[in-house]
Structure 1
Amino acid sequence: MLMGAALAPIDLFIVNVALPTIQADLRASNATLEWVVAGYGIGFALLLVLGGRLGDAFGRRRLFSVGLAAFSLTSLVCGLAPNALTLVVARAAQGAAAALLVPQVLSIIQAGTAGERRARVLGYYGATGGISMVIGQLLGGVLVSADLAGLGWRPIFLVNVPIGLLAMWLARRTLNESRATDPVGLDLLGTPLLGATLLALLVPLMEGHGLGWPWWCWALLAAFPVLLVGFFQVERRVEARGGAPLLPPSVLRMAPMRHGLFIAVPFFAGFGGFMFVYALLLQNGLRLSPLGSGLALTPTAVAFLVTTLLVARLVNRFGRRVMVAASLVLVLSLLVLIGTVLSTWPALTVWHLVPGTLLFGIGQGLAAPTLFRSILSRVPADRAGVGSGVLTTTQQTSLALGVATFGTLFAVLSAPGGVAFAHALTVVSTIQILTSILIGALALRLPDPRESGI
């Protein structure tokens, strides 16, 4: 199960170090690179709740295996993609496959374990995300730099095929089938409507600058609020009829959930934007190799992993103040990165970046688990699964939004090349500093996670 659970986050991070290589090989624009990253997140976000409900209805082991098969197949298509459009479509399909796969892991753990064994396995699951981040950065750099059989960036996707097949074989031999006794229905209208709403916002943000802002970009932006209101109207009617909406309005009306999501959107958008922008700076700005780029990002991943393993004790002692401290660490990390880049450019090296990236990983490791725990702390036990689905969908959507907004801004500001990369990073990081300060102030209104006993 952990092998399957690791595939989704590994592929979220492994692609970052390959972006410039993909751009050169497929003659892709910066907007296309944004789609390569964001398309995965959109596919993941849209079908995540649906994937969990399908597993409850038709069998979790079955959907786990179906998700693995689909992920392996879409990874193969990504690795063989002859052009940028094929890669973008395959990445969105890969995200959708991950959405079928990932929700089954926690469901199988809950159904098949108890007591101390469950606590131990959940600990392994929690560590998997951090470990996957480390593996993704390093493995991506190694595979692209090795240029196996002259394939360049393609092995970062092709490597998923044998791993997926092995995980499928192990699943058939080791996992018992389970399903919910009273499965929740599917939101067949809300899911595509949410997809249309997100695309109405993200398509013009990513494509508008490169195309000179044609009329249809403005039309989509004008349609976005209309579609958003329509989506919530549909969700309200579905819930009023006793159905199972994708994002239940009753959960969104809970003050801790509503306030927490208001923090979660800029927080996760900032993280997604930072990872995308930083990857472009390292390779397009500093001309680092993919392996060098992976090594430069490794302190962030390692610091994130170690911090997430320790943060539970800090939250038990200090409560929501950990979130405030995390925002201060993030502000400090971005200030250090700005100072380092401006003072050493163009002689900037990987070693110069270690202090800033290390602090950024610590800040993220402190904030992410604390935010999840605080938001879900007041959600009733019988709605915990729904609350988790809402939060995770928001997380993945926000990551894609961060890539679209910060990625486009960075591309516009760094267009002349040279020192413009340093100035572009400064502008993007300054916006994120202001956002982090706001997040720290708002975190004081989060519920104390210690009160829930989670």
Structure 2
Amino acid sequence: MSATVPIPAADPVSAAGDRRRWIALAVVMTASFMDLVDVTIVNIAVPSIQHHLGASFSAIQWVTGGYALAFAIGLITGGRLGDIYGRKRIFLIGIAGFTLASALCGFAGDPAVLVATRILQGATAALMVPQVLAIIHVTFPAHERGKVFGLFGAMIGLGAVSGPLLGALLTEWNLFGLEWRPIFLINLPVGIAGLLLGHRYVVESRAPQSLRLDLVGMALAGLGLLMLLYPLTQGRESGWPLWGFVSMACSPLVLALFVRYERIKTRRDGSPLVELSLFQVRSFAAGVGVQLTFGVVCGIFFLVWTLYMQLGLGWSPLRAGTTGIPFSIAVSAAAGLSVAKLVPRFGRKVLQAGALVMAVGALIYLAEANRYGAGIHPWQMALPLVVMGAGMGLVVAPLTDSVLSDVPREHSGSASGLINTTQQLGNALGLGLVSVAFFTVVDHADFAHSSVSAVFTDAFTHALWWVVGGLLAMSALLLALPPKARPHTDEEADQAPADQAQTQALPVG
């Protein structure tokens, strides 16, 4: 995800001769699975959390958006920490922190505490997740990595399907009267086992070069993004005060200062948080825009979809969770077909088709929601969800390889880390935009003459137009990518697959 320098290849003899590496693989894959499921599992439980904690809608946005923002801001720094201090060490610190934060989330007694602990969870995930595929890369010889990354891809698909369903079941069962809390507490035994086994079986590794942390750059980037996202998320509840608009207006100035500092940092010691020279590559600069837009689309859709089904239609978490299964299956099937058959032949056109297919699915969903209203059934949602899922699958798997196609080999690690960070930032921005795309309609609704289901259906269809607009913008940005990805040499394939595979692994959810 964000390893910042090329990772040295593992010693094939020592790696192949040590059967314990498969236990290490199970540990790091379980940790990555835990992070992936945690994102999707929370979405399905959001209405239950809102009801039992008496949380405002802006607090609910922060439960999901705070995690995404902390995760995004910490990704590149988390990868750099692993390069400097040891990937095993940072991985263990990350999984310990993630487990502790999960416990704190599970025992949170009010919305403010839950938001704070979710931010902590995102920050610790940013320490844990970037190390996963870097550890795999230095643990397994080159001839075994194809099989290992295949297993990793299967685990991602399993997480996409099982996360919403597991969240629905845990919420529906109300284990020990804990309501939604088991969705976080389930991480405790998994995290403790991962910590103990990781300490014993994961091999330590570091980057060969001497690197430095860019703490000032991280602080400026975080401040600039927070100045944009906080008033965007909180402004609606506060009546859109003047300070919110001032903060959002000043955000680009802080981000411009960040860019200026990164240039100085590059000249001073060559260890910037972001390698600005990457933006001179036209396809990479456009790819950042694509990932940002894609993240915004996902951030808006998945949250408003959950609110529409559970709060608007009054469906149980289990009914809402099972409704999403066709979507997840379509994503996995189309992703495999895209990489194996379509992209090698048609290149960039597959990604553009995927964005347009997603937009068509959203339009079908919009039409069906308007037609059936509160009487819509899960089976009637299957068609638009399968179409949207197929479109997402066509995009999600080959996107990173296309974006990185023209990036110089020596910058492939930092480029892939930045691409994934951008997508996560887009997700956080999309969650913030839910205030405008969805809740504005709810706020201005006349509940005296309209039912809750009618209001939430109107809000959902309004948000779907935002999703369609984002997908059309994304399709236009894809024109700047190379018609076909540049073939990789054997040396490049050995140098950066971990970064690219990790970046491909996370857009869904």
What TM bracket, shorter-length normalisation? over 0.9
How far off is 1:242 after superposition?
2.8
Does the alignment pair 1:356 with 2:391? Answer: no
Hey, what's the Cα distance between the residues in 2 that align with 1:409 and 1:232?
Answer: 30
| RMSD (CA atoms) | 1.4
* Counterpart residue number, 1:337: 365
Deviations 1:139-197 (A, max 9, x none): 00000000001100100000001111111222123221111121432111010111111
Hey, what's the Cα distance between the residues in 2 that align with 1:345 and 1:166?
Answer: 47
Q: Are the structure 2 counterparts of residues 161 and 50 from structure 1 closer, same or farther at C-alpha, using a change threshold of 3 Å?
A: same
Q: Tell me if the contact between 2:102 and 2:184 (Cα under 8 Å) persists in the aligned partners.
A: yes
Q: Tell me if the contact between 1:300 and 1:358 (Cα under 8 Å) persists in the aligned partners.
A: yes
Q: Are the structure 2 counterparts of residues 324 and 149 from structure 1 closer, same or farther at C-alpha, using a change threshold of 3 Å?
A: same
How far off is 1:407 after superposition?
4.3
> Aligned to 1:419, what secondary structure does the other structure show?
helix
Selected match of 1:422 from 457, 461, 471: 457
How far off is 1:452 after superposition?
3.1
Does the alignment pair 1:448 with 2:483? Answer: yes
Deviations 1:174-224 (A, max 9, x none): 221111121432111010111111110011111111111223212211221
Does the alignment pair 1:312 with 2:339? Answer: yes
Q: Are the structure 2 counterparts of residues 45 and 319 from structure 1 closer, same or farther at C-alpha, using a change threshold of 3 Å?
A: same
Runs of at least 5 residues in structure 1 that lack an aligned partner in the other structure? none
Hey, what's the Cα distance between the residues in 1 that align with 2:401 and 2:314?
Answer: 40
Does the alignment pair 1:70 with 2:105? Answer: no
Q: Tell me if the contact between 2:365 and 2:381 (Cα under 8 Å) persists in the aligned partners.
A: yes
Give the fraction of aligned pairs with identical amino acids, expressed as a percent. Answer: 37
> Aligned to 2:480, what secondary structure does the other structure show?
coil
Q: Tell me if the contact between 1:131 and 1:305 (Cα under 8 Å) persists in the aligned partners.
A: no
How far off is 1:449 after superposition?
4.2
* Counterpart residue number, 1:90: 117
> Aligned to 1:178, what secondary structure does the other structure show?
coil
Selected match of 2:56 from 6, 29, 33: 29
> Aligned to 1:31, what secondary structure does the other structure show?
helix
Q: Are the structure 2 counterparts of residues 354 and 252 from structure 1 closer, same or farther at C-alpha, using a change threshold of 3 Å?
A: same
Runs of at least 5 residues in structure 2 that lack an aligned partner in the other structure? 1-27, 446-451, 494-509
Hey, what's the Cα distance between the residues in 2 that align with 1:312 and 1:290?
Answer: 33
Alignment of 1:211-290 (within 5 A): 211-290=238-317
Hey, what's the Cα distance between the residues in 1 that align with 2:317 and 2:91?
Answer: 32
Hey, what's the Cα distance between the residues in 2 that align with 1:247 and 1:97?
Answer: 20
Q: Please tell me the residue identity of whatever aligns with 1:372.
A: T
* Counterpart residue number, 1:109: 136
How far off is 1:335 after superposition?
1.2
* Counterpart residue number, 1:152: 179
Deviations 1:397-419 (A, max 9, x none): 10010111134420121243331
* Counterpart residue number, 2:18: none
Selected match of 1:376 from 394, 404, 407: 404
Q: Which moved more, 1:76-85 or 1:7-16?
A: 7-16
Hey, what's the Cα distance between the residues in 2 that align with 1:159 and 1:265?
Answer: 31
> Aligned to 2:207, what secondary structure does the other structure show?
coil
How far off is 1:12 after superposition?
1.0
* Counterpart residue number, 1:188: 215
Deviations 1:392-446 (A, max 9, x none): 1101110010111134420121243331222222222122213222322332221
Q: Tell me if the contact between 1:31 and 1:408 (Cα under 8 Å) persists in the aligned partners.
A: no
Q: Please tell me the residue identity of whatever aligns with 2:442.
A: S
Selected match of 1:347 from 346, 353, 375: 375
Q: Please tell me the residue identity of whatever aligns with 1:93.
A: L
Hey, what's the Cα distance between the residues in 1 that align with 2:378 and 2:106?
Answer: 29
> Aligned to 2:376, what secondary structure does the other structure show?
coil
Alignment of 1:284-299 (within 5 A): 284-299=311-326
* Counterpart residue number, 2:437: 409
Deviations 1:44-83 (A, max 9, x none): 1111111111111111111111111000000000000011
Q: Please tell me the residue identity of whatever aligns with 1:443.
A: L
Q: Tell me if the contact between 2:348 and 2:482 (Cα under 8 Å) persists in the aligned partners.
A: yes
Hey, what's the Cα distance between the residues in 1 that align with 2:485 and 2:277?
Answer: 24
Hey, what's the Cα distance between the residues in 2 that align with 1:251 and 1:138?
Answer: 40
Q: Could you tell me the TM-score, scaled by structure 2's length? A: 0.87
> Aligned to 1:450, what secondary structure does the other structure show?
coil
How far off is 1:373 after superposition?
1.3
> Aligned to 2:307, what secondary structure does the other structure show?
helix
Does the alignment pair 1:60 with 2:87? Answer: yes
How many residues are aligned here? Answer: 454
Structure 1: 4+ residue segments shifted above 4 A: none
How far off is 1:448 after superposition?
3.4
> Aligned to 1:451, what secondary structure does the other structure show?
coil
How far off is 1:116 after superposition?
2.5
How far off is 1:261 after superposition?
1.1
Q: Are the structure 2 counterparts of residues 128 and 407 from structure 1 closer, same or farther at C-alpha, using a change threshold of 3 Å?
A: farther
Deviations 1:231-273 (A, max 9, x none): 1111111112133222221112221110111222111110111
Q: Tell me if the contact between 1:378 and 1:452 (Cα under 8 Å) persists in the aligned partners.
A: no
Selected match of 1:18 from 23, 27, 45: 45
Q: Which moved more, 1:114-123 or 1:390-399?
A: 114-123
Hey, what's the Cα distance between the residues in 2 that align with 1:400 and 1:434?
Answer: 18
How far off is 1:8 after superposition?
1.3
Q: Please tell me the residue identity of whatever aligns with 1:376.
A: L
> Aligned to 2:215, what secondary structure does the other structure show?
coil
